[in-house]
Amino acid sequence: MTGPLRERDDAHALLSAEIERARAGAGRLVLLRGASGTGRTAVLETAARHAEDRGLRVLRVRCSPEDTPVPFAMVLHLLGPVPEFTDMAPGGDDRGSAARLWRLLRSYAAEGPVLVAVDDVHLADDSSRRWLTEAARHVDRLPVLLVATERSQYDVDPRLPGLTQALSPSLVRTHTLAPLSDAAAAGLVRDAFPNAPASWTREVVRAGAGSPLLLHALLDDLGGTPHPDGIPPVPDSCAALYPGSYPAAVSWWLNSAGPATADVARGLAALEQAWPTGPPPRRGALRHALPHPRTPASGPVPRHPHDTPAVRTRRPAATAPGCRDVWSTDAGDAGPDPQAASSPYAGATAFPAFGGPGPLAVPREHGPYPHPTEPATEVPYPPSTTEVLYPPYRDPYPFPESAPYGGRPQPAPGGAGYGRTDPPAPAPYPAALQHTASPPVEGGTAGDPVGVLAEAAGADPVRIEGWLAAMTRLGLLRPDAGGRPRYAHPLLRDAVLSGWPRPRREAVHRAAAEAMLRRGARVEAVARHLLRTPAVGRSWALRVLRDAVTVAVHDARPADAVGYLRRALDEPLSDDLRQRLLTELGSLEYASADTPTAIARLAEAQHLPAEPRNQVRTAVALGTALAGRGEISTAMEVLRRTEGRLSGHPGLARTVQAAGALLSDEDPATRQEVYRWLSDTGRNSPELVGTAGQALLVRYAATAALISADEAMTRVRDLLAQPTDPLAEPFLLGTAAAVAQWADELDEAERLVERGLAGQHPALLHPMRHALLNTRADIVASRGDHARLLTLAADPGPGPGPTNRDAHALMALVHTGRSEEALRLADRFDLREVPENWELNRYLYARGVLRAATGDPMGALHDFLECGRRQSAREVVSPVVTPWRTAAAEIRLAFGGGPEALALATEELRLARVWNTPRTVGRALRVLGTATGGRRGLELAEEAVRTLRDAAVDTDMELIPALLAQGRQLLDAGERQRARSRLREAADLAERRGARRWLQLAGQALREGGARGSTAARTGADALTGSERRIAELAADGRTNTEIAELLHLARRTVETHLTSTYRKLRIRRRTELPGALERGGHREREVRPDTRC
């Protein structure tokens, strides 16, 4: 584990000069100081060899701890066998012995120059150290050079004074060996592995931590066995090293530091295992652990649950309803805690709210979220300034730890800790948060590792702080992004922990968890330590883990939440609480794409005793997981079995029926059976199916073309006005939102979607969540917001097959002229492996649109007809969902199949008039007009345009193709002026909506009709002239109109006119919007030079 020395030239120069001085008869003491592993011994050996080459007699000795109790052990080893000291016993005449040994050294010096080399003098016995110090005072006139090495490293236990503390500086030359620089270490690595890439070299240098000892040992291990690729990977575990020189060197480094320092070093390594490796998550936006992209809230949330320490205090009214305090002695469903009174944080709730005792002292809580067995006290919240049509509901029987989005209380910032200061912020309408002062935390902040290490290791925090600073200076520790000291490489940390018994590690983590809890650390910081301990058996541990689940769910990190829940299940739990936690765990494992494990957890939860509402939640979650895996029969059996156990709870039984009806959409045969029963029951006894079941029947009637949009909305609104069980309400809201979207009541549908998502438990699997997200995508598609559709599609669906959002993304890419991207998206899915469900039908329609746009009409016709066959088999015949008939008719027309196209379009119009919304009727009229042709076709085309143009809702995405179709028919009829007017209107709308494909089609038709100019140069960055673009770029860079005029040699009025035209084309109002508008258009390409002309 030795090698060539780097960056030690100054030490060699010093020793060479002192050797020459000794040869001249003037000796001195030279002390080489340095931390363990910095190469003190190597420098000393090099000096000894050089002295021998220069003719000096070299006397060597290496001190060891075993010789420390023996007087003069070091001097006797140094001077060789001394007969008169053979039988000397400790405690003899030290002064006389020292004089005799000094005379012996003088006799050696009389024969010639002498080099006395003492390695590790800090381990020498006291008598020898005094002798050496005394000798240093008298060698200045003798040809004797004394060279000693001394370990100089900050340890947790203070060391003895150094050798030279009692000497005058004139009698000694001291040189301290610095750690290796990264450049020197990289040179050593390149010498050993000349072909190593730079990234590999940097990693080895980090693992070497500036220590020559560790670096050479690591290089020995990496080169110990040949690797197939030539360059072995740098592992994170010492188990992958052979022969093990590196962990042996680290072990020696720890042993040399002493037991107290070794314990702190290992304690730090253990603590570091529980620290997050990446940057903290972005805070402020509310997120959902299960797939749930959120609409931006109407206002910022100033604080986040992570940001409040555990010991912060709060006003009594600032606590969420039913919230519990982790500091309280209440066990929170885990049973009483017999040790709570003696726990290290038992008195933490005594902190007063405003610095003193009194009526504002912190009250006891029960939370973080309401439990069925825990009464909730209503707390007033700041009212929302936003009016909503359907106010959020409150579940009188909330599931434990429900993350209350929308109308339910949001976990208060500080819910991550225990002693929250802030009131909950409802979303998506967050209220202003209130704060109270925090009591001071003694002994460092919650995130400070010094205090935690001191408590975990039982050491002096001042010494620990000094040790951390010293190790950082040496390079063994490096601060992370948060300022915490970490070991320079995971391999070094693993080597420090090697051989440390598991119980010791677990004890450190538990002590750290308790210390951090007392200090008000963030809940996840505490929970990460609990993940590495066995069951604690106290109520606070369970509360920490459950609150950590809440934070992870809030931050959309289901994998982290799964880890906390698995650990929570190790604690002593009642059956009812275990059932609830298993349900959450299974739901989150499903969100983490671990479906088999999720189903096993949920099945285990279903067999545990629980109150009926929790049985329903578990059955719905299990049914959703099974249906997502394609096991619809098993899912329906689970729900039927649960329904049979709810004979005394008819409302809950109806909720299970609604869940079964929704999940039956995954299988056509099951759907027919379920809706046949539901229709018969609803016709004879509507009260037996409940409001959610009746809403599902309205949806069924709408898709079967049995009801108009007005009638459907009337029924839905009546159902929404009726009281509904909270567990059934998601089914009612989601179904009503879908019907409202089909009826073009988009604002109402959006409010229903947001209300439905707000009521969803963030850690429970529910089928309506996916349905609501699909309806949200349908609403966005109806409004023609292609950019947002692509954003929504980035969120993965619950299964491997294409989702409704993928279908919308496919069509959005086609509309925006990005056909190549659309083809790549379509190639991701193998439809042979996809279960036969309604989302596949929507995807087939979307793929047909893609194929029609990319020159594959036969493939498109196949997709449209297959979509229609599957939808008809499901009794979904209304064009409100997938207008496959009009799409197929357009393909038929392209192949000259007029009669078939006419039949399809006629049937589409008949069905569209049943539903009777402008969107569906206008679409059907457009295609029927094209298929009919002639004067009647022109009349139908005009009616389609009029229907869509006069609609009370945004129908641009149907109006554009209607204008295109009418324009082409007018061209065929010879009415070129009217045709060009319609086509220009279509082009303007297409450009405004970003529908580049329709814009191109409009331009092509205009050119065929004899129009001049390009349709693509009306608005947007592409429409800017060269002069306008140059002036806009200068204005975007912050120049004033006067400066631009002088720079371009123009009149100021000319600059203003160009900017006015630019604003109109870019559709902006302010100068500050110019940079963003130009960036979106990709036209900020070059700087304008002073001599540029317009």
Q: What is the 3-state secondary structure (H, E, C) of 813-841?
A: HHHCCCHHHHHHHHHCCCHHHCCCCHHHH
Is the confidence at residue 220, as pLDDT, over 90?
yes
Beta pairing class for 172-177 and 28-34? parallel
Q: Residue 1028 is part of a domain; what is its CATH number?
A: 1.10.10.10
pLDDT at 1080: 66
* Distance (Å, whole) CA 262 – CA 246: 17
**pLDDT at position 293, please?**
38
Is 70 exceeded by the pLDDT of residue 528? yes
- Give the DSSP per-residue string, 27-53: -EEEEEEE-TTSSHHHHHHHHHHHHHH
pLDDT score, position 451: 87
Q: What span, in angstroms and rounded, lies between the C-alpha atoms of 1006 and 1000?
A: 10
Same domain, 658 and 759: yes
CB 106 within 8 A of CB 115: no
Domain of residue 940 covers 777-803+851-1014
The predicted model gives 568-576 an average pLDDT of 96
Q: How many CB atoms lie under 10 A from the CB of residue 548? A: 27
Query: Does a structural domain hold residue 321?
Result: no
Residue 79 binned pLDDT confidence (cut-offs 50, 70, 90): confident
For residue 916, pLDDT beyond 90: yes
Mark whether 857 and 927 lie in a shared domain: yes
382 is a domain residue: no
Q: Do 750 and 626 share a domain, yes or no?
A: yes
CB count within 10 Å of CB 952 equals 8
pLDDT tier, 380 (very low <50, low <70, confident <90, very high otherwise): very low
- Report the sign of the C-alpha dihedral through residues 644, 645, 649, 653, in that order: negative
Q: Are residues 134 and 43 in the same domain?
A: yes
**Which of 61-70, 361-370, 468-477: highest mean pLDDT?**
468-477
pLDDT tens track for 703-741? 999 999 999 999 999 999 999 999 999 999 999 999 999
Residue 283 and residue 307 in contact, taking contact as beta carbons nearer than 8 Å: yes
Q: How many domains does the chain have?
A: 5
Instruction: For CA atoms 208, 213, 216, 222, give the dihedral sign.
Output: negative
For residue 857 the two structure tokens come to 């009409």
For 403-424, write each residue's pLDDT tens digit: 332 333 333 333 333 333 333 3
Q: Which of 545, 551, 587 is nearest to 566 (CA)?
A: 545
b/e per residue, 729-756, with b = 16+ CB within 10 A? bbbbbbbbbbbbbbbbbbebbbbbbbbb
Do 169 and 119 share a domain, yes or no? yes
Over residues 1057-1085, the pLDDT tens digits come to 888 878 877 878 788 888 888 876 554 44
Structure tokens at 308: 């409040």
pLDDT at 315 over 90: no
Give me the CATH number covering residue 661: 1.25.40.10
- Do 1005 and 1068 have their domain in common? no
| Residue 196 and residue 48 share a domain | no
Please say whether the beta carbons of 875 and 893 come within 8 A.
Answer: no
Q: Which of 125, 150, 177 is the last residue of a domain?
A: 177
Does the pLDDT value for residue 463 go beyond 70? yes
Cβ atoms of 1007 and 976 within 8 Å: the answer is no
Beta 485-487 vs 28-34: how paired, if at all?
unpaired
Residues 76 and 203 in one domain: no
Q: How far apart are CA 559 and CA 579, in angstroms?
A: 20
Write down the pLDDT at residue 62: 95
Average pLDDT over residues 565-571: 97
Which residues have C-beta within 8 Å of that of residue 214, sequence separation ≥ 6? 37, 207, 208, 246, 249, 250, 253, 492
Name which of 80-89, 598-607, 654-663, 1079-1088 the model is least confident about: 1079-1088
Pair of tokens at residue 30:
């030279």
**DSSP reduced 3-state for 232:** coil
For every residue of 987-1011, DSSP letters joined together read HHHHHHTT-HHHHHHHHHHHHHTT-
Closest CA to 540 of 530, 550, 549: 530
Q: Is residue 494 part of a domain?
A: no
First-to-last CA distance in the chain?
A: 72
| Rg value, the chain, Cα | 40
Residues 169 and 193 in one domain: no
Collapsed DSSP state (helix, strand, coil) of residue 324: strand
Strands (E), 152-290: 172-177
CB 65 within 8 A of CB 119: no
At 458, list the tokens: 């039982």
State the Cα torsion 1059-1065-1068-1069 to the nearest 10°: 50
- H or E element: which one contains 115? strand 114-119
SS (H, E, C) 703-748: HCCCCCHHHHHHHHHHHHCCCCCCCCHHHHHHHHHHHHHHCCCHHH
Indicate the length of the chain as a whole number.
Answer: 1094
Percent of the chain at pLDDT above 90?
A: 61
Single-letter residue type at 1055 = V
Helix, strand or coil, per DSSP, at residue 148: strand
Q: Kindly report the pTM of this predicted structure.
A: 0.74
In tens, the pLDDT along 989-1006 reads 898 888 899 999 999 999
| pLDDT tens by residue, 469-521 | 999 999 999 998 888 899 999 999 999 999 899 999 999 999 999 999 998 88
CA distance 281 to 54: 64
| Cα–Cα distance, 991 to 182 (Å, whole number) | 57
Q: Are residues 14 and 142 in the same domain?
A: yes
Given a cut of 60, whether residue 235 has pLDDT beyond it is yes
Across the chain, what does the average pLDDT equal? 82
**In the listed set 961, 995, 1014, which residue is the last one of a domain according to the structure?**
1014
DSSP for 57-81 reads EEEEEE--GGGTTSTTHHHHHHH--
Q: What are the structure tokens assigned to 946, written together?
A: 């009029």
Which residue type, as a one-letter code, is found at position 643?
E
What is d(CA 138, CA 133) in angstroms, rounded to the nearest whole number?
9
Average pLDDT for residues 915-935, to the nearest whole number?
A: 96
Given a contact cutoff of 8 angstroms between Cβ atoms, the answer to whether 241 and 221 are in contact is yes
- Collapse the DSSP code of 362 into the 3-class scheme (helix H, G, I; strand E, B; otherwise coil) and give the result: coil
Per-residue pLDDT, 199: 95
**649 lies in the same domain as 749:** yes
Beta-bridge mates of residue 102:
none
Q: Which residue has the tokens 């910095």?
A: 38
Pairing of strands 114-119, 485-487: unpaired
Mean pLDDT of 331-355: 39
At residue 276 the predicted structure's pLDDT band, cuts being 50, 70 and 90, is confident
Phi-psi region at 289: left, alpha or beta (left = phi > 0; alpha = psi -120 to 50): alpha
Residue 342 tokens read as 């003696």
pLDDT bucket at 833, cuts 50 / 70 / 90: confident
Pull the structure tokens for residue 920.
């569906």
Are 130 and 98 a contacting pair, CB within 8 Å?
yes
Looking at the domain assignment, is residue 440 inside a domain? Answer: no
Sign of the alpha-carbon torsion through 967, 973, 977, 978: negative
Which residue among 241, 257, 273 closes a domain?
A: 257
List the strands of the sheet with 57-62, edge to edge. 57-62, 114-119, 144-151, 28-34, 172-177
Strand partners, 189: none
Residue 823 domain flag: no
**What is residue 313's predicted lDDT score, i.e. its pLDDT?**
33
Q: Are residues 856 and 957 in the same domain?
A: yes
**Could you report the per-residue pLDDT of 661-680, keeping only the tens digit for each?**
999 988 888 999 999 999 99
Q: Residue 95 pLDDT more than 90? A: no
Q: Does a structural domain hold residue 964?
A: yes
- What band does 586 get if pLDDT is binned at 50, 70 and 90? very high
Structural domain includes residue 1091 = no
Mean pLDDT of 964-985: 93
Residue 330, in any domain of the structure = no
The domain that contains 22 carries what CATH number? 3.40.50.300
Q: What confidence score (pLDDT) does residue 173 get?
A: 95
